[in-house]
Amino acid sequence: AKRDGKRTFRMFEASLMEDIRRRRSLEAALRQACMRDEFTIAYQPVFSSASGEISGAEALVRWTCAERGPVSPVEFIPVAEELGLVSRIGADVLRRACKDAASWPGGLDLAVNVSPVQLLDPRLPQTVARALEDSGLQPERLELEITETALLNNDEAALRTLTQIQELGVRISLDDFGTGYSSLSYLHRFPISRIKIDKSFVQRLPDDLGSASIVRAIAQLGESLSMKITAEGIETDGQLTFIREQGCDHVQGFLTGHPIPAEAFADLVARAARV
């Protein structure tokens, strides 16, 4: 039994070493990707729930690593945050997305994700202002998506930064709503103009009663606070119908459109896609 225990421990140790090795090599690859500008942007179309017309897109960063192929942002963004690279990557995405969006028809909006770590960077408002200036995109067309975690960490600094961004004319939306440490006081305290209902709720619609109640409640909350609501992660007609019945303003999901490269998105817009 003792020998077995030893062997189990050795195997555990070996797999731990393997994890560390893999992590180190991902870190090195990510640093290199930053220097070589290996990131691209995919755009997922967003539609008006009422009219069915395309209303804009969310920019989603993409990384195809020479050795490992496509790496999900779910995997590399947390590593970039820890390595102090996320502000650089984020600024780059923002700059390029604003340039792309400036060439879309005037009514279309652009949403860009901002990591909680980026929000702690006091240079963020200046980065946003610069991206708008360089691209010529009207500030009203830009929306930054933040998560509740960002507000929890550092109240005062986050409030200052968000207020400065709002003063530029840029809107703020609260992403993945309902999954973090949701506190309704955030909605009051911070200049938030949109709530994005997390896909974990949307995906259990319309049959799961709990999710249906939550989605209904968030839609009502948005209505009474005069905030816009986007439902994300819509994959079925049943989900789309339910969301439309709740009066959510915008819809986004694989049903209505996957994230696609910039040129493909420009084509989609030119064809005036609708759902």
Asked whether position 238 contacts ligand C2E by CB under 6 A, the answer is no
CA atoms within 13 A on the CB side of 69: 0
Binding of Ca ion at residue 176 (CB under 5 A)? yes
**Integer CA distances (angstroms), 91 to 13, 110, 138, 226, in order:** 39, 15, 17, 30
Binding mask 11-50 for ligand C2E (x = CB under 6 A): ---------------------------------x------
Using CB under 5 A, which of the segments 14-22, 97-105, 172-180, 181-189 binds Ca ion?
172-180
CA-nearest of 155, 156, 152, 164 to 124 is: 164
Residue 81 CB neighbour total at 10 angstroms: 17
Work out which of 44, 49, 55, 113 binds Ca ion, going by CB under 5 A. Answer: 113
Kindly report whether the peptide bond that precedes residue 206 is cis, defined as omega within 30 degrees of 0: yes
Task: Return the residues of window 245-274 that contact ligand C2E according to CB under 6 A.
Answer: 253-254, 259
In angstroms, the CA 191 to CA 125 distance is 14
- Exactly one of 113, 127, 166, 211 binds ligand C2E (CB under 6 A); that residue is 113
Say whether 126 sits in a helix, a strand or coil.
helix
| Residue range at the interface with ligand C2E (CB under 6 A); choices 155-163, 185-193, 207-215, 229-237 | 229-237
* Contact with Ca ion (CB under 5 A) among 92, 247, 266, 268: 247
Per-residue x/- track, 129-148, Ca ion (CB under 5 A)? ----------------x---
